[in-house]
Amino acid sequence: MFQVRIHGRGGQGVVSGAEMLSISAFLEGRHAQAFPSFGSERMGAPVMAFCRIDDAPIELREPVIEPDALIIQDPTLLHQVDLFKGLHAEGYIIINSTRGFDELGLGEFARGFNHYRLSTVPATELALKHVGRPLPNAALLGGFAAVTGEIAIGSVISAIRDRFPGKIAEANILAATAAYDLLTKQREPLHA
Amino acid sequence: MLKQTEGSRAVAEAIALCRPEVICAYPITPQTHIVEALGEMVKSGELAKCDFINVESEFAALSVAIGASAAGARSYTATSSQGLLFMAEAVYNAAGLGLPIVMTIGNRAIGAPINIWNDHSDSMSMRDAGWIQLHAESNQEALDLHIQAFRLAEELSCPAMVCMDGFILTHAYDRVDIPAQADVDRYLPPFEPRQVLDPAEPVSIGAMVGPEAFTEVRYLAHHKQMQALARIPQLAAEFKTQFGRDSGGLLRTYCTEDAETIVVALGSVNGTVKEVIRALRAEGMRIGSVSLCSFRPFPLAALRAAIGHAQRVVVLEKCLAVGLGGILSDGVRKSLSGIALKGYTVIAGLGGRAITRASLRTLFQDATRDTLEPVTFLDLNTEIVNRELEREKQARRTGPTAESILRQLGTVASRIA
Amino acid sequence: MDMQPVKFYQTGTFTVGNRLLDEPQRTVQANMRRTNSLNSGHRACQGCGEALGARYAIDAAMRATNNQVIAVNATGCLEVFSTPYPETSWQIPWMHSLFGNAAAVASGVAAALKLRGRTDVRVIAQGGDGGTTDIGFGCLSGMFERNDDVLYICYDNEAYMNTGIQRSSATPPAARTATTASVGDAPGNVFGTGKNVPLIAMAHEIPYVATASVANLRDLEYKVTRAMGIRGARYIHIHVPCPLGWGSLPADTIRLARLAVESGLYPLIEAEYGELTGRTRIRHKVPVEEYLKRQRRFAHLFGARPDVARIARIQATADRNIARFGLTG
């Protein structure tokens, strides 16, 4: 089972992100479960959403306590909320930011993890560029696909089309593929 | 057809397949997505020949359903928590009049303190009103149970509640198999009422009944639920034959045959329970579980057969009989009449507190060592409780209890579980 | 010469019971083929205004709809005395659910009928003042707001009579009830409270609102008939004296209802979509005392030291109604 926890603020599409992730997995014939944590749901409040992906039916109903991957949609949460709780040493971290881990003040922290599994991606900038709105979830899913390989970018694209209508879907797909390409390129020398 | 969709949406699609004729909607978290989805379907024409009525309160919602059902229409509504209490009078009325209304309960805690998260206090408050009460363990089962519920309710002329955990199921995206219309039509024929308001054959419905006959009328209502005990497994079997999967029935057992310790629970927590049981069994523990689907009628005989051989039973409840302890435990105990085994009531998940594998693992281990108290509250923060009790000893004007506890806990948004 | 008494039968008057009129001119009640929807054998008190009002109203509705009426009844006197277990005196399909939900249940019945294409069958919701102005108010407003195809009839005897004469928001000022004592200086029900549901119904701008009285049968039948010819939410408020609760003579029920109208205390009006469209003029205005003094619930206003001030306030209310609705001149 692969468990993902997404952190962000209300209004940033954290929940839809988890849902699209689950749809991506579904389209690949896998089982997936996505659900929000249900704190006070006002705009700007810290929110979390969870997604589990597995080949067998998922019966577990607890929140994701030991994530295999963390997606952090809003870096302003970084030093406010204990975002990394439960993440193991081989876990993935994808942070929505133009800055790297060192610049974010996470340099020391990052040393405890597998360097190749930590990424930042300017998802909000990509969203603004392609979609015109600062909703980074689609781009982050593209980044997630690139970094973890848990789902294919093609599935992400189909999931976005499932969730959004016409032009909006295509715009989000551009953002997602841009993030995917960016992170894939970043990693290419490492796999050479 | 397989879909990855929100639980509420899946349930709405199943209800639409049942060809409801009157749907009444009053919003309350967390069932609102169900009726919103149904409203969309009526608007788009996907759900045809259906009147979607926005009512002014939950009391009105069930009352409109009562009128529509009495006039021969297949009627549906949904509610949770405070809404269920607000329509309480109508809940008893519908059962007493024998109207086969189906209602979804998105299980949510009842205040005060106000709480929007899941537990079973709401449906439990109406457990003796005479409605059939079925609990879904998963979104698939939730949608399947609605199809079975309409069939059962109309056959018996008895209203039925389908209970699904608020947020945990209603707001979770899961893979579900939505049946085809033709298959549902085969399973659920058109509504043939036992009584109907019709100028061609006038009847008076809802007359006063005095001491001479009230007991007999109530006995017949009880008898209906006894009949349901037989019909529920039969309808589930028919469902399996037609749709190809296990859904509903009175209860489901998991690794109970050789179990010395058996856990009994209602609803979605059974999924997490089974995960923990799998892990403990791999370590050699003889433990199993029973997921109860039918809470009313309460399957005393079936439960006894399932757990009577064990050494101990752990009843995991998302509800609390204040001043007494467990509610589900009472039924479990009744089923074990004459059998001596150790029984533990664990109150868990109240107000939406997460029930984790880690907590359950420790709990089940304690149970097998018989170190548990007869009634325990899972993950109770005893430090806070004791601090509050101490505060109350020291002064009179201590202010609202809930607010004081929240203050002691600090910000909650940053917590994960 | 022997004087022989000769009886003259006066034909052509429009008194309610006149059967010498042509059929179309007779009241429904005077018609041999009236349905008697509320049949004899019910357990109402002698002189019950509500039993009269209900029979008049439902029979009129039946004639207007070719006998296609379903009634939904709130808990109350009418429901209790018309269906004493194990009997029913209703000749029509009839349902009683709860005290406060008659309007909502009726909405549900109407929805089911519409779905089945039974546009010929009409729905009437009925209840007393308690079940309408108080506990049933929410559901009533909801039905109005949705413009559901239901005629709601309120039989107003100005208190919760079935449970022993307790005050409702329809109880008039100064009336004595079990919960508004008139002991010593206590005035009975206080001034400055109470709800005017016909005006509230008008505020919802529903297709038809009317007030009626058992004292004017032709007017009542006309209004019910008119209402049945309209689709959507409709409301008729009928004044029905209660001899037991009012402390009046059973034989005085219709007289009291007439005095209430002629004093101005109970205006007979019609409205459509929130605008006043009709009123019945008072022919011979009477002072409110004529009405009040025949009821023991107002007895404390009279006697050795009459409560002149309160009677004057009641008179002022009557005068205000007359001016407001143009009931004289």
Q: Which domains does chain A have, with CATH numbers?
A: 2-191 (3.40.920.10)
The residue-averaged pLDDT of B150-173 equals: 97
Torsion over CA: C59, C61, C64, C68 (sign): negative
Single pTM value for the model: 0.93
CB contact under 8 A, B205 and C141: no
Residue A63: closest C-alpha in chain B:
B417
The residue-averaged pLDDT of B356-360 equals: 97
What integer pLDDT is reported at residue A192 of this predicted model?
Answer: 44
Residues with pLDDT less than 70, chain C? 9-11, 183-185
In a domain, C32, yes or no: yes
- Common-topology check for domains B2-243 and B251-377: yes
Which residue do the tokens 């909006």 mark? A168
The residue-averaged pLDDT of A10-31 equals: 96
Residue C100 sits at the chain B interface (C-beta within 8 Å): yes
Chains A and C touch (3+ CB pairs under 8 A): no
What integer pLDDT is reported at residue B53 of this predicted model?
Answer: 94
What integer pLDDT is reported at residue B407 of this predicted model?
Answer: 85
Query: Is pLDDT at B87 greater than 50 in this prediction?
Result: yes
In a domain, C34, yes or no: yes
Q: How far is B291 from chain C (nearest CA, A)?
A: 36
Q: C148 lies in which domain range?
A: 28-325
CATH assignment of B251-377? 3.40.50.920
Q: How far is B417 from chain A (nearest CA, A)?
A: 6
Residue B281 sits at the chain A interface (C-beta within 8 Å): no
Burial pattern C18-44, b for ≥16 Cβ within 10 A else e, equals: beeeeeeebbbbbeeebbebbeeebeb
Query: Is pLDDT at A189 greater than 70 in this prediction?
Result: no
**Average pLDDT, rounded, for chain B:** 95
Query: Is pLDDT at A191 greater than 60 in this prediction?
Result: no
Residue A61: closest C-alpha in chain B:
B272
Complex prediction ipTM: 0.91
In a domain, C18, yes or no: no
In a domain, C9, yes or no: no
Residues B45-61 have pLDDT tens digits of: 999 999 999 999 999 99
The residue-averaged pLDDT of B118-139 equals: 98
HEC per residue, chain C: CCCCCCCCCCCCCCCCCCCCCCHHHCCCCCCCCCCCCECCCCCCCCCCHHHHHHHHHHHHHHHHCCCCEEEEECCCHHHHHHCCCCCCCECCCEEECCCCCHHHHHHHHHHHHHHCCCCCCEEEEEEEHHHHHHCCHHHHHHHHHHCCCEEEEEEECCCECCCCCECCCCCCCCCCECCECCCCCCCCCCCCCCCCHHHHHHHCCCCEEEEEECCCHHHHHHHHHHHHCCCCCEEEEEECCCHHHHCCCHHHHHHHHHHHHHHCCCCCEEEECCEEEEECCCCCCCCHHHHHCCCHHHHHHCCCCCCHHHHHHHHHHHHHHHHHHCCCC
Query: Is pLDDT at A190 greater than 80 in this prediction?
Result: no
Chains that touch A (3 or more CB pairs under 8 A): B
What integer pLDDT is reported at residue C20 of this predicted model?
Answer: 84
How many domains, in total, are found in chain C? 1
The residue-averaged pLDDT of B239-267 equals: 97
pLDDT band at A117 (very low <50, low <70, confident <90, very high): very high
CATH code, C275: 3.40.50.970
Residue B216 sits at the chain A interface (C-beta within 8 Å): no
Which residues of chain A lie closer than 8 angstroms to B141, CB-CB? none
CB contact under 8 A, C111 and B53: yes
Which residues of chain A lie closer than 8 angstroms to B175, CB-CB? 26, 31-32, 57
Chain-centroid distance, C-alpha C235: 11
The residue-averaged pLDDT of B63-85 equals: 98
What integer pLDDT is reported at residue B188 of this predicted model?
Answer: 98
Residue B214: closest C-alpha in chain C:
C85
Cβ within 8 Å of residue A107, ≥6 positions away: A101
In a domain, C8, yes or no: no
The separation between the first and the last C-alpha atoms of chain C, rounded to the nearest angstrom, is 50
Which residues of chain B lie closer than 8 angstroms to A81, CB-CB? 413-414
CB contact under 8 A, C108 and B97: no
Question: What's B2-243's CATH class?
Answer: alpha beta
In a domain, C109, yes or no: yes
Site from B64, B91, B97, B205 to mutate, C interface, most C CB atoms within 10 angstroms: B64
Q: Which residue in B138, B171, B416 is closest to A85 by CB distance?
A: B416
Residue B358 sits at the chain A interface (C-beta within 8 Å): yes
Site from A62, A66, A76 to mutate, B interface, most B CB atoms within 10 angstroms: A62
In a domain, C2, yes or no: no
In a domain, C12, yes or no: no
Helix axes A166-191, A123-130, angle to 10 degrees: 140
Which residues of chain B lie closer than 8 angstroms to C138, CB-CB? 56-57, 59-60
What integer pLDDT is reported at residue A42 of this predicted model?
Answer: 67
Which residue do the tokens 């006697």 mark? C303
Chains that touch C (3 or more CB pairs under 8 A): B
Residue B2: closest C-alpha in chain A:
A26
Site from B23, B63, B205 to mutate, C interface, most C CB atoms within 10 angstroms: B63
**Average pLDDT, rounded, for chain A:** 93
Residues C173-188 have pLDDT tens digits of: 999 998 888 766 677 8
pLDDT band at B417 (very low <50, low <70, confident <90, very high): low
Residue C69 sits at the chain B interface (C-beta within 8 Å): yes
Q: Domain spans of chain B?
A: 2-243, 251-377
Give the gyration radius of chain A's Cα atoms: 15
CA-to-CA dists, residue B268 to A53, B118, B135, B292, B351, angstroms? 18, 11, 9, 11, 15
The residue-averaged pLDDT of A110-121 equals: 93
Residues A138-154 have pLDDT tens digits of: 999 999 999 999 999 99
- What is the Cα–Cα distance from A146 to C116, expressed in whole angstroms? 57
Q: How far is B172 from chain A (nearest CA, A)?
A: 4
Query: Is pLDDT at B262 greater than 50 in this prediction?
Result: yes
What integer pLDDT is reported at residue A82 of this predicted model?
Answer: 86
